[in-house]
Amino acid sequence: VPVRSTGGDYEVLIGLDLVSSLGPCLSSLGLRGKVAVISDSTVWKQWGGQAAQSLQSAGFSISTISLPPGESTKAFRSAEPIYGRLILDGFSRSDTVVALGGGVVGDLAGFVAATYHRGMALVQVPTSLLAQVDASIGGKVAVDHPLGKNLIGAFHSPRGVICDPTVLKTLSVRERWSGLAEVVKAALIADQELLQSLEGDLESIGDGGANDARMLEVIERAVRIKAQVVSEDEREQGRRAILNFGHTLGHAVEAATGYGPLAHGEAVVIGMKAAIEVSRQLGRCSGEDADRALSLLSRFPRPSKAERPIRDAVLALVRRDKKARDRSISFVVLAGLGKAEIEPALSDSLLSIAVDRALAEFPEK
Ligand SMILES: NC(=O)c1ccc[n+]([C@@H]2O[C@H](COP(=O)([O-])OP(=O)(O)OC[C@H]3O[C@@H](n4cnc5c(N)ncnc54)[C@H](O)[C@@H]3O)[C@@H](O)[C@H]2O)c1
Ligand SMILES: [Zn+2]
């Protein structure tokens, strides 16, 4: 799947067993020399051996860096020892960083690649469903700051994205469903056909029962949507914002529950339900379409670990998230199945409805 970027066009290669052909893949991208494979310990244990072996057989000299799994690794303090290792191992600007992992590894390794020697080649090898259909594409790289997520970052396009659905075999069921939320998001905003097919087999995809051909199909369609949107508007001056469907409330409940009890996709499902309610109230989407979208989302497992956050905290987080950009809260609404639009200024009363809809997803205290 092609992606256009001012930093250089690139492709998302999607195929089974690509991780065990990583070496030839990198060679075909014209890359040579040293490769730093950055991963987390969970992913490295499962898939690192195959990746390393393939790279070495193709003549690459590799340094491997494995980090603790989890969002707390995506921090500036994780970057410094990685820079140290690259310096000691003699890496230069013409060498390559491979990010083998989920979105945490992709964002952190991407940040290192964007900044080491003012920018070196990056290849994304996403291993979670969320990273395959979302985080690895579009060139946004970042680390978190104690005061907020993704606040320190850059745009740094990868030279290629290598997406191998085989590796999803070892992904937990909860993480699969979390990634599937972004697939449903993509379908809701841009692909009615995909949406219809997901209505047929959502549970088998989420639980891991879908066959390889089906996973390839679903991933490819979701990748095409993300690739097309970021190709049109890389720097998020307009249309790219539709990818934030469900994320205004999603980010707020994720932050208000303290990042952890809710997986990102679980928060996004809650946020999408709220956004659909707003779309219905605004008359932007018919009651029938709203019901259909909500009924698909109601098939996601209910998050069990999160307690209902405090209403004012959620409201304040929505306002803070948006105030940095402009005074009014712009909000992504559904304008029918497979179609999203930006509502430039959400009224306080609709915002209040959205917050209540999101909070209703949590069990009463
Ligand atoms: N750059 C972007 O455009 C963008 C877009 C969306 C999300 N993100 C970022 O992505 C991050 C979330 O990504 P994520 O959900 O992939 O989280 P993650 O990287 O923490 O991965 C989730 C968990 O799954 C494990 N895992 C990953 N692949 C596995 C595999 N094949 N087998 C077994 N376990 C595996 C990881 O070890 C981790 O414990 C967030 O930090 C978010 O901000 C970035
Ligand atoms: Zn998301």
Question: Tens-digit pLDDT profile for the chain (365 aa)?
Answer: 999 999 999 999 999 999 999 999 999 999 999 999 999 999 999 999 999 999 999 999 999 999 999 999 999 999 999 999 999 999 999 999 999 999 999 999 999 999 999 999 999 999 999 999 999 999 999 999 998 899 999 999 999 999 999 999 999 999 999 999 999 999 999 999 999 999 999 999 999 999 999 999 999 999 999 999 999 989 888 889 999 999 999 999 999 998 889 999 999 999 999 999 999 999 999 999 999 999 999 999 998 878 999 999 999 999 886 655 666 788 999 999 999 999 988 999 999 999 999 999 998 76
pTM of the model: 0.96
- Dmax (CA) for the chain in angstroms is 61
Task: Judge contact between 192 and 184, C-beta under 8 A.
Answer: no
> Helix 264-281 vs helix 247-256: angle between axes, to the nearest 10 degrees?
130
- Tell me the residue type at 189: I
CB neighbourhood size of 68 (10 A): 11
Taking the CA of residue 42 as reference, the ligand 1 atom at the shortest distance is: 37
Taking the CA of residue 46 as reference, the ligand 1 atom at the shortest distance is: 32
Task: Judge contact between 141 and 153, C-beta under 8 A.
Answer: yes
Could you tell me if the CB of 42 is within 6 A of ligand 1?
Answer: yes
The torsion angles phi and psi of 172, rounded to 5 degrees, stand at -65, 155
**Measured between alpha carbons, how far is 280 from 187 in angstroms, rounded to an integer?**
18
**Measured between alpha carbons, how far is 211 from 222 in angstroms, rounded to an integer?**
17
* Half-sphere exposure (Cβ direction) of 117: Cα atoms closer than 13 Å: 14
Q: Residue 11 in 3-state DSSP?
A: strand
List active site positions: 118, 140, 182, 226, 236, 240, 244, 247, 251, 264
Task: Judge contact between 30 and 36, C-beta under 8 A.
Answer: no
Place of tokens 């340094």: 63
Task: For residue 133, give the ligand nearest its CA.
Answer: 1
CA of 95 to the centre of ligand 2 (A): 30
Could you tell me if the CB of 226 is within 6 A of ligand 1?
Answer: no
Q: Residue 249 in 3-state DSSP?
A: helix
Residue 49, classified by CB atoms within 10 Å of its CB into exposed (0-12), middle (13-18) or buried (19+), is exposed
DSSP code, position 309: P
Place of tokens 């529950």: 257
Six token digits for residue 334: 């559904």
